[in-house]
Amino acid sequence: MANIILRRANEYDYAGVYAVRTEAHSVHYTRANPSLSPYEYRNALFNNSYVTTYVALDDKKVVGVGTILKYKTNKKQGIGRVNVTVSRKYLKKGIGGAMLEILHKVSAKEGLRMLEAHIQQDNDAGKALVSKFNYTLCGEIEDALADANGVNNELIYIRKL
């Protein structure tokens, strides 16, 4: 991670965020919705008080994205969901772990007590990452995700802060 910079995203990053999430969608389904235009995606990420976005940059190019979604309902107050996406070219360089560390610190500062991570069942790298950070598998949603390879289950992991 020698030249990689992690920082809070701004609206000028939205095209790079969109590109990284769309690329990841072709491999593993992520929370990004590629059916949204880049403009709609920008509004969903940056004009929303319930979402905090961070980026990993290599020479000003977005190569990783991390988001915190703070649930709005009273039932889930104090709970958030994290999502980390790293460009294929930059996998296995520690970016995902560094991003998750930042998301944990920011979540705690923002008053969250617990985080969820939803991971596609066949995403071994994602499962290994959250396990490294002491997330516990607590549930599964059957047939939750559809992609080019068919239907897949979504695993739900939780971690107390």
- pLDDT tens digits, one per residue of 107-124: 999 999 999 999 888 888
pLDDT given at position 30: 42
Question: Per the domain annotation, does 89 fall within a domain?
Answer: yes
Model confidence over 141-158: pLDDT tens digits? 887 666 666 667 889 999
Question: Per the domain annotation, does 130 fall within a domain?
Answer: no
Residue 50 domain boundaries:
4-117
Tally of domains within the chain: 1
d(CA 124, CA 64): 18
Question: Per the domain annotation, does 149 fall within a domain?
Answer: no
Q: What is the CATH number of the domain that holds 16?
A: 3.40.630.30
Question: Per the domain annotation, does 80 fall within a domain?
Answer: yes
pLDDT given at position 145: 63
Question: Per the domain annotation, does 97 fall within a domain?
Answer: yes
| Residue 42: its H or E element | helix 38-46
Quick check: 74 pLDDT over 80? no
Token pair, residue 124, equals 């071994």
Quick check: 29 pLDDT over 50? no
d(CA 122, CA 140): 13
The whole-chain average pLDDT of the chain stands at: 84
Question: Per the domain annotation, does 36 fall within a domain?
Answer: yes
Q: Kindly state the percentage of the chain with pLDDT values over 70.
A: 80
